[in-house]
Amino acid sequence: MKRAIFPGSFDPITLGHVSVIKRGLPLFDELIIAIGVNSNKKAMFSLEKRKKWIEEIFAGEQKIKVETYEGLTVDYCKKIGAKFILRGLRTSADFEFERGIGQVNRMLAEEIETIFILTEAKYTPVSSSIVRDIIKHGGDITGLVPDTVKP
């Protein structure tokens, strides 16, 4: 059973996330979209809302589950028996950031492998923080997030 997690804040989930999830799915038997609860980071959307949106988007996809977790990502992986962490890469800045996290995670838990998927070119500029900014200023987020995401 190849179990992977796709960890993130998903505040809110974007079409960039959805693309990475769909493309990563054939690699694994089960993919858990794991919403990390970070008490230092004030989210725009409640955990319940973020989780509900993701569940709606992937309703009917048997291999996908949506969960929340607190603490270290590798500890959560160990707890649920996940051997893979899926992450998306947009830019060289993402790469540097992810390299650090990925390498330290490996120091903490050698048996867990991080797998990277490159963003589709059209989603390179899409991020949850840009979406939040547009929402804050009353702009249109069509084309950046799935239709299910209704602020």
The size of the interface with ligand ADP (CB under 6 A), counted in residues, is 16
Question: Residue 49 catalytic?
Answer: no
Q: How far apart are CA 19 and CA 37, in angstroms?
A: 23
- Closest by CA to 94, choosing from 123, 74, 68, is 123
Verify binding: residue 17, ligand ADP, rule CB under 6 A.
yes
Q: Which of 50, 51, 87, 90 is catalytic?
A: 90
Token look-up 């790469």 returns: 95
Measured CA to CA, the distance from residue 13 to residue 131 in angstroms comes to 9
User: Rounded to whole angstroms, what are the CA distances from 82 to 69, 78, 90, 95, 132?
Assistant: 13, 6, 24, 23, 30
Span from 26-34, 50-58, 64-72, 123-131 in contact with ligand ADP (CB under 6 A): 123-131
* Piece of the chain touching ligand ADP by CB under 6 A; list 5-13, 25-33, 60-68, 133-141: 5-13
Q: Is 137 a catalytic residue?
A: no
Residue 117 in contact with residue 89, Cβ under 8 Å? yes
Residue 14 contacts ligand ADP per CB under 6 A: yes
Alpha-carbon distances, residue 64 vs 27, 57, 91, 121 (angstroms)? 12, 10, 26, 24
Catalytic residue among 22, 83, 128, 150: 128
| 128 is known as an active-site residue | yes
Structure tokens at 52: 């509900």
CB of 62 to ligand ADP, least distance (A): 22
Asked about 2 being catalytic, the answer comes back as no
Among 4, 25, 58, 88, binds ligand ADP (CB under 6 A): 88
Residue ranges in contact with ligand ADP by CB under 6 A = 8-10, 14, 16-17, 20, 87-88, 90, 94, 119, 123, 126-128
Active site amino acids: 17, 41, 90, 128
